[in-house]
A and B are shown apart, each in its own frame.
Chain A
Amino acid sequence: GENVEQHPSTLSVQEGDSAVIKCTYSDSASNYFPWYKQELGKRPQLIIDIRSNVGEKKDQRIAVTLNKTAKHFSLHITETQPEDSAVYFCAASIRGAEYGNKLVFGAGTILRVKS
């Protein structure tokens, strides 16, 4: 079935350094790729997303890149801060009963920013 693989599972960086999380997907029809941040005990919240008609999107310290040919996309966080510590999930839209109706999530990356 369709799946999304996410690496690494844990990532520790020093405050101020950059963090990169990578995901690969299997469904060539996927056209929407969001990233969610989940703090302990809270709901996942969207931080950035990208659609298949663009290769890169940036929002302040966060950027996402997409390579449709290779079927992988990445999250880049620059100048990391302690409040960036959380679990990050990537996801890809999957063709369902209605085209692009479902999201399949990666297993998550625990990011720790050390001060």
Chain B
Amino acid sequence: NAGVTQTPKFQVLKTGQSMTLQCAQDMNHNSMYWYRQDPGMGLRLIYYSASEGTTDKGEVPNGYNVSRLNKREFSLRLESAAPSQTSVYFCASRNRGFATSGNTIYFGEGSWLTVV
């Protein structure tokens, strides 16, 4: 049981290049998330998927697209990378609503992305 796995762990891109961050969870969770983390700004939600087949924008969706490929996988794509997208990206997942006792959000190990 690996939990939430994301790849790659490190990536350097040139401005204008595209790339996809991959995420998979083996906990049979319904909801999946992509966050970015910047110094002094906490974790900001980019996109989320409440269930297979649905996606919705978070706080900072501009410049990103997502695909919920199946229940396990949720990918994040940068179509034309910009230096402002240099950040640490975290994928996360959760089972059901937060009101249900024992449910919380679990994070992957992070992907360090630098755009030069």
Report which A residues bind B (CB closer than 8 A).
Answer: 1, 6, 9, 31-32, 34, 42-46, 49, 51, 89, 91, 93, 96-108
Report which B residues bind A (CB closer than 8 A).
Answer: 31, 33, 35, 40-45, 48, 50-51, 54, 56, 58-59, 90, 97-99, 101, 104-110
User: Which A residues are in CB contact (< 8 Å) with B54?
Assistant: 97
Q: Which of B58, B101, B104 contacts A102 (CB 8 A)?
A: B58
A90 and B43 alpha carbons, distance in the complex (Å): 10
A3 to chain B, nearest CB (A): 9
A52 and B3 alpha carbons, distance in the complex (Å): 27
Inter-subunit contact A106/B104 (CB<8 Å):
no
Q: Which of A43, A46, A96, A108 contacts B42 (CB 8 A)?
A: A108
Inter-subunit contact B43/A97 (CB<8 Å):
no
Inter-subunit contact B45/A31 (CB<8 Å):
no
* Cross-chain pairs A/B with CB under 8 angstroms, 20 sampled: A31-B99, A32-B98, A42-B110, A43-B90, A43-B108, A43-B109, A44-B43, A45-B107, A49-B104, A51-B98, A51-B99, A51-B101, A89-B42, A89-B43, A97-B50, A97-B56, A102-B45, A103-B105, A104-B45, A106-B42
Instruction: Take A34-B104, A44-B43, A96-B50 as given contacts and tell me if A101 and B58 are in contact as well, using a CB distance cutoff of 8 Å.
Output: no
Inter-subunit contact A105/B43 (CB<8 Å):
yes
Main SS at interface, chain B: loop
Of all chain A residues, the one with the shortest Cβ separation from B103 is: A32
A106 and B37 alpha carbons, distance in the complex (Å): 11
User: Which A residues are in CB contact (< 8 Å) with B50?
Assistant: 96-98, 101
A58 to chain B, nearest CB (A): 16
A21 to chain B, nearest CB (A): 13
Q: Which of A44, A98, A107 contacts B97 (CB 8 A)?
A: A98
Inter-subunit contact A31/B98 (CB<8 Å):
yes
A99 and B59 alpha carbons, distance in the complex (Å): 17
Inter-subunit contact B48/A44 (CB<8 Å):
no
Of all chain B residues, the one with the shortest Cβ separation from A94 is: B45
A68 to chain B, nearest CB (A): 14
